[in-house]
Amino acid sequence: MVKKYKADNGVVIITLKEGVQYKPEETETKPATRRKTTEEIFIVVEDMPMFPGGLSALKSYIYDNVKYPEKARREGIEGKVRVDFVINAKGDVEDMSVSQSTYAGFDDAAMEVFKDMPRWEPGKQRGHPVKVKLNIPVEFKLGGE
């Protein structure tokens, strides 16, 4: 479901994407052993990560904290940025990146909101907290609908 929120700084549309392919993250354990371990990053888990207050609170948080770039506003530019990120086992946001963008000027504005995001309730698989990859598109629009 997509909802629009209007504000003086633009309109933000937020949706959660489903059906993304699983991609494990490999990390070195110790340089001397030359052994690699894989800490799984899930896309779907039994208990998905939850922003404090739920999805509507997440939308409000983004709406309240996103800053429409002044240059884009002056030039009448609208667009969309898809932010990928991981909620780790502690509930912190990490490994943020922009996977799609229609205007590079929106990338930093979208990433800034996620950088300062409060701790989430972590996702759980079989009762244990795990890393979960999510992505949220943020649409920047000027004026009415």
Residues contacting 112, CB < 8 A, separation 6+:
65, 67
Residue that wins the pLDDT comparison between 132 and 63: 132
Quick one: angle between helices 107-115 and 55-65, nearest 10? 120
- Contact status, residue 137 vs residue 81, Cβ threshold 8 Å: yes
Determine the Cα–Cα distance for residues 11 and 78; give it in Å rounded to an integer: 10
Residue 144 confidence (pLDDT):
55
- Find tokens 């949220």 and name the residue: 136
* pLDDT tens track for 83-92: 999 999 999 9
* pLDDT tens track for 52-95: 999 999 999 998 999 999 999 999 999 999 999 999 999 999 99
Residue 39 confidence (pLDDT):
76
Residue 63 confidence (pLDDT):
83
For every residue of 51-96, which 3-state class applies, written as one string?
CCCCHHHHHHHHHHHCCCCHHHHHHCCCEEEEEEEEECCCCCEEEE
| Residue 130 DSSP one-character state | E
Residues contacting 85, CB < 8 A, separation 6+:
93, 94, 95, 96, 97, 114, 133, 134, 135, 136
* pLDDT tens track for 12-31: 444 344 444 434 444 344 44
For residue 98, what are its two tokens?
């922009």
**Is this structure's pTM higher than 0.85?**
no
- The continuous run of DSSP H or E covering 145 comes out as none
